[in-house]
Amino acid sequence: MTMLVGKKAPSFKADAVVDGGEFVENFSLDQYIGKKHVVFYFYPLDFTFVCPTEIIAFQRRIADFEARNVQVVGCSIDSKFSHWAWLNTPQNDGGIEGVKYPLVADVNKTIALNYGVLAGHYDYDDEGNMIWVGNQGEAAVAYRGLFLIDKNGIVRHQVVNDLPLGRSIDEALRMIDALQFFEEKGEVCPANWEKGKDGMKDNAEGVASYLSTH
């Protein structure tokens, strides 16, 4: 897995579907630099089972992200047409109708590869043909990666789950709160920190003071 924390988020331009059905060409996260934090997450495939629970969960909490000035963007290796079809399928029929934030189409798998979440790697067989070698036999899809990107385009947090393991929206929001608390207060966030709790100074005196009162 590629470690991107502290580095510039890999830039890309790709097709996307926004507002639940509008095609956009050359969609890029660069449009948010200087304006918004970004939660950029990957999911394996459209029209699957765990994926819609996550995608819809983000939408149901979208007001919480917007209140923090955070843009949510999803991405999978499906085409924009697959995204569009799924977005226009009712939730009762296994679709994700009602999701409004952007879904990026990574058909060439280069975005997932650059973010280090492609579930395997390309290699060559004995005859020199390029082949896909999946980790534990997985198809060439993305793991459930999530990246918190600040307004300067720097990755400040990343987490990657295996395909069967869904993510926590609450934890994504907690990490946003922690980052924004640090940016505003200049204090770091100790274990199990939550919004509204105290931070501490990033030195021995700060640690001692925090531990003596908590």
- Total structural domains in the chain? 2
- Same domain, residue pair 154 and 175: no
| Interval 166-199: pLDDT, tens | 999 999 999 999 999 999 988 888 888 888 888 8
Three-state DSSP class for 187?
Answer: coil
Is 109 domain-assigned?
Answer: yes
pLDDT score for 204? 45
Count CB-CB contacts under 10 A for residue 163.
20
In whole numbers, what is the pLDDT of the chain averaged over residues? Answer: 90
The reply to whether the predicted model has a pTM over 0.85 is yes
State the catalytic residue, choosing from 39, 51, 172, 176: 51
- Same domain, residue pair 69 and 121: yes
- Same domain, residue pair 100 and 187: no
pLDDT score for 27? 98
Segments in the chain below pLDDT 50: 204, 206-208, 210-212
Q: What is the CATH number of the domain that holds 54?
A: 3.40.30.10
- Same domain, residue pair 179 and 159: no
Q: What residues form DSSP beta bridges with 154? A: 8
Is 152 domain-assigned?
Answer: yes
pLDDT score for 208? 41
User: Among candidates 145, 123, 139, which has minimal Cα distance to 3?
Assistant: 145
pLDDT score for 203? 53
Is 1 domain-assigned?
Answer: no
Phi, psi of 61 (to 5 degrees): -105, 15
pLDDT score for 68? 98
Is 69 domain-assigned?
Answer: yes
pLDDT score for 207? 45
- Same domain, residue pair 61 and 98: yes
**Domain housing 190:** 168-214
- Same domain, residue pair 48 and 141: yes
pLDDT score for 1? 59
- Same domain, residue pair 174 and 124: no
pLDDT score for 140? 85
| Interval 122-151: pLDDT, tens | 788 888 898 878 776 677 899 999 999 999
- Same domain, residue pair 178 and 107: no
pLDDT score for 137? 66
- Same domain, residue pair 124 and 18: yes
- Same domain, residue pair 119 and 206: no
Percentage of the chain beyond pLDDT 90 is: 71
- Same domain, residue pair 173 and 80: no
pLDDT score for 192? 86
Is 62 domain-assigned?
Answer: yes
- Same domain, residue pair 42 and 30: yes
Q: Is 75 noted as a catalytic residue in this protein? A: no
